Structure 1
Amino acid sequence: MSVSLMRGVLDQIHNQIQQVSEQPWKKSVEPQNAPSFSDVLFNSINEINKTQINAKEMTQQWMYGNNDIGLNDVMLAMQKSSISFSFGVQARNKLLSTYQEVMNTPV
């Protein structure tokens, strides 16, 4: 799910809130240094990608016979990659189900 698509979904939610309540949507006051939700989401996806690339590179290096990398290091990198990807998929599924629940809530 792209960042622009997520922003579109959030804008739709904000528009529906404005329609339901007669007051305009007011953004909460955020500290100046706090990252936005989309930035956190984007960084998390990048971190998952980095763990997958690292696992792939370590596997290739081990297969080419690099003596500096042990099989246990390769297996550990692959498990970290698998767990981070599974967590990312579960977080995405939870966000989608929450969005669908909010959209199906009668007004």
Structure 2
Amino acid sequence: MKINPMQDEMQNIALEMRSLGRTETSQEVNQDFGTLLSSAIQKVNGLQKTSSDLAVRFDRGDRSLSLSDVMIASNKSSVAFEATVQTRNKLVEAYKELMNMPV
């Protein structure tokens, strides 16, 4: 069960880069990071939509869903969103540190 898809994705990319053993230009790193961040946000969005859809279906009386299915989807969505917020906070903190460095 993947609770934190963003972290898994980042670890997979890091392993991929190590296995390639090549150095990249800053432009390539920026593109890779942007792509990684975009796909992670899309995955979190997908988890939130799925959770919302399951909750609506359960509220309407769909007998094929159990309360535990809805709660698991909700918790996955919540954990993924919290990870996204924490990642954003770390990025903002790093940006502020860089901007405060003397040149």
TM exceeding 0.5: yes
Aligned to 2:57: 61
Q: Structure 1 residues 28, 92: CA separation in 2 closer, same or farther (over 3 Å shift)? A: closer
The alignment of Structure 1 onto Structure 2 pairs a total of residues equal to 78
The answer to whether 1:52 aligns with 2:48 is yes
Gaps of 5+ in 1: 1-25
The answer to whether 1:106 aligns with 2:97 is no
CA–CA distance in structure 1, aligned partners of residues 32 and 96 of structure 2? 22
The answer to whether 1:27 aligns with 2:20 is no
Aligned to 1:86: 82
Q: Identical aligned pairs, as a percentage?
A: 37
Larger radius of gyration: 1
TM-score normalised per structure 2: 0.70
Superposed CA RMSD in Å reads 1.9
- Cα offset, 1:28, TM superposition: 5.2
TM-score normalised per structure 1: 0.68
